[in-house]
Amino acid sequence: MTDTALSFVHRFEPATDAGAPPLLLLHGTGGDENDLIQLGRMLSPGSALLSPRGKVLEGGAPRFFRRLREGVFDEEDVRFRAAELADFVTEARKVYNVAAPVAVGFSNGANIAAAMLLTRPEVLAGAVLLRAMVPLAAPPAADLKGRGVLLLSGGMDPIVPEENAERLAAQLRAAGARLDHRTLPVGHGLSQADIGLARQWLAAPQPVAA
């Protein structure tokens, strides 16, 4: 059910399995709060699902932050929007009584999830980043020790250069994340391999962050 009462328009689905991790679902450009619900159900059946709609519009298409052109981000806006989204997650956790979620983001949603990991790491238990790229050229020092991150890149992705994905991987490792970075023989769109790997990763026991 879509809710407009909190600081982001969003959908929330309660957990049906107390042992499944809550998921924060973050859509790509042009998506909305409904976009990744089915994916969330597929990746972690029984998880609580929290799915906000990005507040920035680009030609009418919702996004989570502004960009100057494809692949070039307004980094001041990235920082502002990451903080705004982190505050919403904190707010929603209290309202819905859920633990720190694992972010599952695609494209623009994966980029804002990466920005949250690097600027407000306490908000997330971990992340599945699907086709993410570097959101901040020089992120602040973050402590991601104990947090797992699955980064799935496309070897034929026309939007995210391989070098950029490797740079993001290096940033996350430097912050102490337990990073699993895989490059699949696919483009920017999601594949069955992404779904299978993400589902397997989410089902594995995750150490609790210190």
In a domain, 155, yes or no: yes
Q: What CATH number is attached to the domain comprising 110?
A: 3.40.50.1820
Return the amino acid letter for 165: A
Number of Cα atoms under 13 Å in the Cβ half of residue 205: 2
Q: Is 161 exposed, middle or buried (0-12, 13-18, 19+ CB in 10 A)?
A: middle
In single-letter form, the type of residue at position 210 comes to A
pLDDT tens by residue, 85-118: 999 999 999 999 999 999 999 999 999 999 999 9
Let me know if residue 79 belongs to a domain: yes
The yes-or-no answer on residue 51 being catalytic is: no
150: three-class secondary structure by DSSP: strand
CA distances (Å), origin 184, targets 59, 75, 112, 162: 31, 28, 22, 11
User: Out of 77, 180, 188, 191, which one is annotated catalytic?
Assistant: 188
7 is catalytic: no
Residue 208 lies in a domain: no
Asked if 48 and 14 touch (Cβ cutoff 8 Å), the reply is: yes
Contact between 15 and 47 (Cβ < 8 Å): yes
pLDDT for residue 159:
95
Residue 58: CB partners within 8 Å, gap ≥ 6? 29, 66, 67
Q: State the residue range of the domain holding 108.
A: 2-203
How many whole angstroms separate alpha carbon 208 and alpha carbon 10?
27
Encode pLDDT of 166-181 as tens digits: 999 999 999 999 999 9
Does residue 133 belong to any structural domain of this protein? yes
Asked if 27 is an active-site residue, the reply is: no
Residue 65 confidence (pLDDT) above 90: yes
Tokens of 9: 């328009």
- Is the CB of residue 93 less than 8 Å from the CB of residue 125? no
pLDDT for the residue numbered 4: 67
* Residue 181 CA, distance from chain mean position: 15
Joined together, the tokens standing for residue 48 give 């609580």
Tokens found for residue 64? 């989570």
**Side chain identity at 193, as an amino acid letter?**
A
The total number of structural domains that make up the chain: 1
Q: Residue 156 falls within a domain, yes or no?
A: yes
Average pLDDT, the chain: 95
Q: Which residues pair with 12 in a beta bridge?
A: 50
In a domain, 210, yes or no: no
Q: Is residue 18 part of a domain?
A: yes
Residue at 112 is within a domain:
yes
Catalytic pick among 51, 107, 153, 194 = 107
Catalytic site residue from 10, 47, 157, 194: 157
